[in-house]
Amino acid sequence: MEALIRILLAEHAGIVAALDRVRRDGFGTPADRGALTGLRVLLEAHVAREDGHLYPVLRGLARERPHLEIILGEFEEENARLKRDIVAFYERCSSGDRVGVGCAADFGRLAADLRRRIHREESTLFHEALAPAGQSHRDRTG
């Protein structure tokens, strides 16, 4: 699990760097739109890794940690919303002829949501995944 968490943390760093680049450079030129496409690839790979590797382990742990079942439910709801928002953003804003001020505002909202999500994953889910058997992150933090 620790190796998976290290990979996910590195992916988070890459996603944040890509968010920063797009925020800084915009997406008006072909090169900028390439960075936006690169961000999408990072997000899709990251979500696939979480869905395929992290969440199955956490669901298993939730059998022993009832509060984790509630946390996972909240994260899964948020995941579904974020996935819809990402798809909608790219449908609206990835084509050069549709990029404009509205897309910049949409990107700002999406970036803020992604940053908030990354923080929550790192401060909650990853700690739960690494907690010793029979113990939860909440037990260790009070």
Instruction: Write down the pLDDT at residue 138.
Output: 52
Q: What is the identity of the amino acid at 128? A: E
Q: Are 84 and 116 in contact (CB under 8 A)?
A: no
C-alpha 54/C-alpha 130 separation (Å) is 11
Average pLDDT over residues 108-120: 97
**Quick one: pLDDT at residue 29?**
82
pLDDT score for 97: 57
- Is residue 37 within 8 A of residue 94, CB to CB? The reply is yes
| Higher pLDDT pick, 118 / 93 | 118
Q: What is the largest CA-CA distance in the chain?
A: 55
Long-range contacts of 29-36 (CB under 8 A, 24+ apart): 30/96, 33/94, 33/96, 33/99, 36/93, 36/94
Region of poorest pLDDT, from 21-35, 46-60, 61-75:
21-35
- What is the rounded radius of gyration, in angstroms, for the C-alpha atoms of the chain? 17
pLDDT at 27 over 90: no
Residue 63 has pLDDT above 70, yes or no: yes
Q: What's the pLDDT at 96?
A: 58
Q: Break the chain down into helix, strand, coil percent, rounded to 5.
A: 85, 0, 15
Asked if residue 37 has pLDDT above 50, the reply is yes
CA 128 and chain centroid, separation: 17
28 phi, psi to nearest 5 deg: -90, -25
Q: Is the pLDDT of residue 140 over 50?
A: no
d(CA 122, CA 100): 33
Whole-number average pLDDT of the chain: 88
- Asked whether residue 94 carries a pLDDT value surpassing 80, the answer given is no
